Chains A and B, each alone.
Chain A
Amino acid sequence: MFEKAFVGGKKYWGLVLFWSVFIVIGFLCYLWQLKVGLKLTGMSRDVSWGFYIAQFTFLVGVAAGGVMVALPYYFHNYKKFGRIAVLGEFLAIAALVMCLLFIFVDLGRPMRVLNVVFHPTPHSVMFWDMIVLNGYLLLNIIIGWTVLDAEKNGVAPPKWVKPVAYLSIPWAFGIHTVTAFLYCGLPARGFWLTAIMAPRFLASAFAAGPALLLILCILVRKYTKFDPGKEAIQTLGKIVAYAFIANIFFFLCEVFTTFYSHIPEHINHFKYLFVGLHGHGKLVPWMWLSAALAVIAIILLVVPATRKQEDVLVVTCILVFISTWIDKGLGLITGGFIPNPLEEITEYWPTFPEFMISIGVWCAGFLVLTLLYKIAISVKEEVGG
């Protein structure tokens, strides 16, 4: 089926070129970083993880979000999702490619990355994160590709795919749970030290992932002959609504526990993010923007009239995506490091090359997504037409 990625119209190649340009720029910046070290970034002794790890965390969510299509389809035989199941799986593949690249560009000694395999360390959560992320990538490649291949040949998918698909569903919950455990098991980071971290991660994932998928479905319908189906899109909208409300609910639970218990090392991080701490508040406008977008999105998702109107629903999904991105891709990691365990404040903002490397990784993911969607949609157009 690969050959379908090599034939396409001007728009397709234009898009491929667009991603490639930013990939090249990002790659050149990465070579620069490789030469001079991570001083090229805005990270510091106090804020030792930054934009890269934050993007990684957010994208694990996008990858896990695909399961919100697979679960109703495989567990509840919800046929309307049959048409877009492969789109969810391919989105997960692209997101996981970005996750792995973001981990890689964050390493101080990337050439030694295989030490994680050569010296397996089960008491490190990162070891398990490596296993679940790579495993989930493999599962999605196997399931997505096999099912699509069967569709192309006009036959039912082989029987062994079913149990693999069933396995991939709890696995999706696993990737984001383990990723949350990276943070919430650290004794000295009050902002992350909370049992609701994993549920919150999952809720925001199940909002952001399907929101992006919904946007992609609309784009696919607009620019190709394949129609994912009105009902599938509406169901995705409902999933986004429930998941996003759960996400905000979990966040408010966190706010209550933090402020009512009044323990400084938990409160300080929230203060830094939302009102500023000792005159430092680089992220304050961002966090309030995230909150404002969340409120608007919830209203638009809850009111049936706005949710059912597709144009509005797309805008709502963009708001959900941006709101969760600010929360996880900007606030979560930096907020956990400020103030540091010595109650000192060092602020963080990504540098230009750091930002361009990140853009490069995002574009690499979108290139993978473009190629995979091109293949999937070509097959579907062929079968449908």
Chain B
Amino acid sequence: MAVDRREFIKIAGVSVIGLTLGPALKLEEKVEASEGKVRRDPKALKGKRWAMVVDTRKCEKCKKCVAAEACHAYHNVPKIPDPKREIKWIWQESFEHAFPHLAAEGEHIGEEIKRRPFVILCNHCKHPPCVRVCPTKATFQREDGIVMMDMHRCIGCRFCMAACPYGSRSFNWMDPRPYITKENPEYPTRTKGVVEKCDFCAERIDQGLLPVCVEACPEKALVFGDINDPNSEVSKLVEKHFTLRRKLELGTDPQVYYII
């Protein structure tokens, strides 16, 4: 057992490198290997780029957004009273906050538009800044354009929140579970310390269902579909109506369209 100090340090050093890199490399292999085995539900909705059209003319009546409430109930979004700690996936804003560039001070936008609520949510950008900045790929983009969150990988650095031009991301400043009134076992709850946001109900789409908010809206103001398919309802709507998108000038190519 003649291991001198120098040799011991050598062995220790190599072991540390091995223990760190080994699992990392193996993990990547596993992911690649399992990819071939994924079987998609034959009922899954098929689309090249999912998008949403919000017909804001139909939103006028609703003081509270029924669709947003349904979404938050379904996704176990906690009701936290302190606005600083709030978690929001989809919610109502006034025109001047949803479109600050178009509503500069003193702008004549008309009383009716000023009163109208604008439902806002993650825009599932074609070029999402949040995905670009995430240091762990915890937020990533699916092939169909949906920007997703892996809540098990997120380290809670909140770089994505600084990057998002739409304020669409929320951080769990505390354990959200005590603030969930009725837990939906269909969807996981989150822990403190991770970021979350709207995921366009990716898991429902994969089962052939529409997003919860689209189903729940009593006015049918929200329309969901493939913007790359010229025959889809969303394509027809944006063809027929002039629509706005939030902060289009930033080059993110947001996929939520607003009919005024």
Q: Which of A298-333 contact B (CB under 8 A)?
A: none
| Complex Cα spacing A161 to B27, Å | 37
| A188→B85 contact, CB < 8 A | no
With a cutoff of 8 Å between Cβ atoms, the chain A residues found around residue B121 in the complex are: none
**A222 close to chain B: CB less than 8 A:** no
| Complex Cα spacing A37 to B85, Å | 11
Shortest B20–chain A CB gap in Å is 7
| A115→B153 contact, CB < 8 A | yes
Instruction: Knowing A37-B174, A117-B20 are in contact, say whether A107-B137 is a contact too (CB < 8 A).
Output: no
| A188→B161 contact, CB < 8 A | no
| A38→B83 contact, CB < 8 A | no
**B251 close to chain A: CB less than 8 A:** yes
With a cutoff of 8 Å between Cβ atoms, the chain B residues found around residue A49 in the complex are: 158, 162
**B166 close to chain A: CB less than 8 A:** yes
| Complex Cα spacing A121 to B132, Å | 9
| A108→B84 contact, CB < 8 A | no
State the total of A-B contacts with C-beta under 8 angstroms.
151
With a cutoff of 8 Å between Cβ atoms, the chain A residues found around residue B1 in the complex are: none
With a cutoff of 8 Å between Cβ atoms, the chain A residues found around residue B23 in the complex are: 118
With a cutoff of 8 Å between Cβ atoms, the chain B residues found around residue A116 in the complex are: 135-136, 155
| A45→B170 contact, CB < 8 A | yes
Which residues of B are at the interface with A, using a C-beta cutoff of 8 A?
20, 23-24, 27, 83-86, 88, 93, 96-98, 100-101, 104, 129, 132-138, 153-159, 161-167, 170-175, 191-195, 247, 250-252
Instruction: Knowing A118-B24, A341-B166 are in contact, say whether A126-B159 is a contact too (CB < 8 A).
Output: yes
Which residues of A are at the interface with B, using a C-beta cutoff of 8 A?
36-39, 43-46, 48-49, 103, 106-110, 112-119, 121, 123-127, 130, 182-183, 185-189, 264-265, 336-337, 340-344, 346
| Complex Cα spacing A36 to B191, Å | 11
- Residue of A36, A119, A265 ringed by the most chain B CB atoms within 10 A: A119
With a cutoff of 8 Å between Cβ atoms, the chain B residues found around residue A103 in the complex are: 157
Instruction: Knowing A121-B135, A188-B129, A188-B247 are in contact, say whether A108-B171 is a contact too (CB < 8 A).
Output: yes
Beyond the given pairs A114-B20, A118-B24, A342-B167, 15 more chain A to chain B contacts, judged by CB atoms under 8 angstroms and listed by A's residue number, are A37-B193, A45-B171, A46-B84, A46-B167, A108-B158, A108-B193, A109-B191, A117-B24, A121-B135, A123-B132, A126-B133, A186-B163, A265-B101, A336-B162, A341-B100
| Complex Cα spacing A343 to B195, Å | 22
| B157→A126 contact, CB < 8 A | yes
Shortest B132–chain A CB gap in Å is 6
Residue of B whose beta carbon sits closest to that of A189: B162
| A341→B247 contact, CB < 8 A | yes
| Complex Cα spacing A350 to B86, Å | 18
Q: Which of B93, B135, B252 contacts A130 (CB 8 A)?
A: B135
With a cutoff of 8 Å between Cβ atoms, the chain A residues found around residue B136 in the complex are: 112, 115-116, 118-119, 121
Listed from nearest, the 4 A-B pairs whose CB atoms lie closest are A108-B156, A108-B193, A188-B165, A44-B84
| A48→B153 contact, CB < 8 A | no
Shortest B65–chain A CB gap in Å is 16
| B153→A112 contact, CB < 8 A | yes
Shortest B95–chain A CB gap in Å is 11
- Pick 27 A–B contacts, CB within 8 A, sort by A: A37-B174, A38-B174, A38-B193, A45-B84, A45-B85, A45-B86, A45-B167, A48-B161, A108-B156, A108-B157, A108-B194, A109-B154, A109-B194, A116-B155, A121-B136, A124-B132, A126-B133, A126-B135, A130-B135, A187-B163, A188-B129, A188-B166, A337-B162, A340-B167, A343-B96, A343-B100, A346-B84
| A118→B167 contact, CB < 8 A | no
With a cutoff of 8 Å between Cβ atoms, the chain B residues found around residue A107 in the complex are: 155-157, 193
| A186→B173 contact, CB < 8 A | no
